[in-house]
Amino acid sequence: MQDKLFIDLGGERAVAIGRYVADTGATVRQAAAVFGISKSTAHKDLAVRLKNENFTLYCQVAQVLAKNKKERHMRGGLATREKYLCLSKKTGKERIGNL
C-alpha cells in the first residue's frame, strides 16, 4: 500500500517538472538531471502523474515531448559527429571523404 505522503510529493514533483519542461523545452533526460531523478521517473511523472494533476500543463508538455521525439535522431547524429571530430583532433588524423 502506498503512503499518502509519497503520492502527494509525486504529484507536486510532476507539476514542477512539467513547468520546467514547458518553460525551457528541455528533454526528459535534461529534466531528470536538473531534478536529480531517473529518466524513468521523470517520464512517468510527465506522462502519467501530470495528466491527473494538471491536464492543461500536461497538454503543453505533451507538445514539447512530441517535438523532442521528432528531433531526437538529429540530436543523436550531431552528438556522434562531435564525438568523432573530437577524437580526430586528439589523434591528429583527419577523415577523408565519407570513409
What's the pLDDT at 3? Answer: 43
Residue 69 CB-half CA count within 13 A: 7
Categorize the per-residue pLDDT at 82 as very low, low, confident or very high, splitting at 50, 70 and 90.
confident
How do residues 28-55 score in pLDDT, each as one tens digit? 999 999 999 999 999 999 999 999 999 9
Strands (E), the chain: none
The structure's pTM equals 0.67
Give the cell for residue 18: 512539467
